[in-house]
Structure 1
Amino acid sequence: MANGSRTSTVKRRKDLALDALGRALRLRGEMGIKPQAPASVFDVIDKLGIKLRFMPIPSLEGVYRGRPNPVILVSSERPPGRQAYTGAHELGHHVYGHGVAVGVPSDDAGQEPPESVGPEEYLADRFAGFFLMPKTAVKYGFRARGWEPKECTPRQVYTVAGWLGVGYAALVHHMRGSLRMLAYPHSARLLKATPKDIRAGILGREVRENLLVVGEKWTDRAVDVQVGDLILLPSGTRYEGKNLRVVEETERAVLLTATAPGIGRVHRPESGWAAFVRVSRRNYVGLGPYRHWEDPDYEAEDD
């Protein structure tokens, strides 16, 4: 009986995961997101008319309240990649027409939820992974940069995770578990590396700030950062806007920091590549659509 029950649970979860995959890809298509492109989940939430608010709720990841006036709350005290996964999870509850859902803090983004998780939470979690990290986009993220996913290095995973807007570990778990793109031994080696160590390896020194590695393969989305975050760009990249400042420049790269909320732009004149840079306050609290608004009275020490 135990084996039969286990088999039934596995099959039921497989069916739910396939349904979540279909729903996620369908919504991406309806939102005009190309199969190989990353999805800016908070932009999608705004476009769907769902009230999005970031709040200082350390005891929770996020909250969804359903129709007729849907609301999504996201903790302002979590890392950006985790916030995006939470937003996509709560969006999954909306897509499936669930009522009220409350998410408690965890570090299991991208992993197979435990068997104690009910079908509604399981659907929302699988939806989040497939919405943010569909196989076509993950493959493109690596191969457009000349990298092979099954042989990826920690630095390569870190770079692609930043482009997708998700956490490093979340991408590794999703590639291994849901997408079957990584063998277990390789994923285990990748998970031994920490984002802190990877950033130090890239910059040659330890930094507390988040770092995005951006180049001409960064397409189909803005560069979203918080005040204080760092952006590493190829040499020759120029920037526009009052919310960015050069920290360091070498023959090979330019390192920028985000200094104030607002929207700037980076571009390379010789190739024509460009991307908008959207900066929010660190641990922004407020309504989603206003997170990148410039504030003429902003002072860095406020954050």
Structure 2
Amino acid sequence: MRGTRELATQAAREAARVRARLGIGPTSSLCPLDIAEALGIVVRLAALPSLEGMYAPGDRNTVLLGAERPWGRIRHTCGHELGHHVFQHGTCVDELCVGRRPKWKPEEYLADRFSTALTMPKLAVGDALRRRGWKPAELTAEQAFALAQNFGVGYRSFVSHAERSLRVLSPGAADSLRRQGRPLGRVRRAVAGFEVEHDVFIGDQHWGARPMDIETGDIVVVANDALFAGTCARLSREPEAHLVAVGPGEGQLKLRARREPIRVRVGRRGFTGLARYRHLEEPQNE
């Protein structure tokens, strides 16, 4: 049986090949759901409480994702199922494990490492830190949260990946960030500057290449000079400058400090169905 180091190397190599095949640079952020669509894989979200994800090969290769998970987890699971596709593992069903660790299997480890290598390659994390002028050893919980949102992953997933895979965080620094991140609602409140009911994002000049995928009710912290084109979010200046997502659709966040606008995609909260339709605007009643 191959060791974990060899499997991790193989996963990183294949993730880099997928990026190169689709013309995505090694420092760019991405959404695994978009990658699946680009590879011709059907992605569907379903309200199945016990399901993390499923990959089913066939005439139309399909990925099924549990819609009741947090979005960071959903994206990771999509990348995991893509790993099963890339490595031709056949039909795979990944169930939610509560209160127990799943049995270690090389194909599951390989798919998991593929997902993290696809979404958070070392060059991309290093570039995100450099552009912000942040040092890994000095990261605050708010900064780690901003980086996790930039890559579309969970807070704890980012911290664990930075510590155990990329080795840019010491165990002590990682443990400190985990403690500071409990509860995560406190971090969100600190980032936004006010109470938020759902999730919060930072729409600044450092946001990566991927679209900013949010859900109705989410908040995007922006600069005072920000402009927004679209009807899916509303710009507010009080108590701090921010966007609030008000309905499904797409728009553009324009910042004076950034050359290109940020593409903002708002999805319905709790959406189920074909993933490509999650940002589709609702028809207007005539």
TM-score (norm 2): 0.93
Contact 2:224-2:237 within 8 A present in 1 as well:
no
The structure 2 residue matched to 1:122, chosen from 93, 109, 126, is 109
CA gap 1:204/1:216 in 2 versus in 1, 3 angstroms: closer
Cross-structure match for 1:223: 212
The 3-state SS of whatever aligns with 1:221 is coil
Structure 1 pair 261–49 and aligned structure 2 pair: CA distance change class (3 A): same
> What SS does the aligned partner of 1:20 have?
helix
Contact 2:213 2:265 in 1 (8 A): yes
Distance between the aligned counterparts of 1:103 and 1:219, measured in 2?
30
Matches within 5 A, 1:1-303: 12-106=3-97, 116-192=103-179, 193-194=181-182, 195-249=184-238, 254-269=241-256, 272-297=259-284
> Take 2:106 and 2:259, find their aligned partners in 1: how far apart are those partners?
47
Note the C-alpha offset of 1:153: 1.2
> Following the alignment from structure 2 to structure 1, what is the Cα–Cα distance between the partners of residues 116 and 187?
23
- Give me the CA root mean square deviation: 2.1
Structure 1, unaligned runs of 5 or more: 1-8, 109-113, 299-303
Deviations 1:74-94 (CA, angstroms, capped at 9, x unpaired): 111111111100000000000
Amino acid at match of 2:245: A
Deviation track 1:17-64 (CA, whole Å, cap 9, x = no partner) reads: 111111111111111111111121111100111111011011111111
Distance across 2 between alignment mates of 1:150 and 1:297? 51
| Identity fraction in percent | 35
CA distance in 1, matches of 2:135, 2:156: 18
CA distance 1:271–1:37, change in 2 (3 Å): closer
Against the structure 1 CA distance between its residues 225 and 107, is the aligned structure 2 distance closer, same or farther, given a 3 Å change threshold? farther
Structure 2: stretches of 5+ with no match in the other structure: none
Provide runs of 4+ in structure 1 moved above 6 Å: none
SS in 2 for 1:234: coil
Aligned-pair CA distance for 1:143: 1.4
Scaled by the length of structure 1, what TM-score is found? 0.88
The 10-residue stretch of structure 1 (142-151 or 155-164) with the greater mean CA deviation from structure 2: 142-151
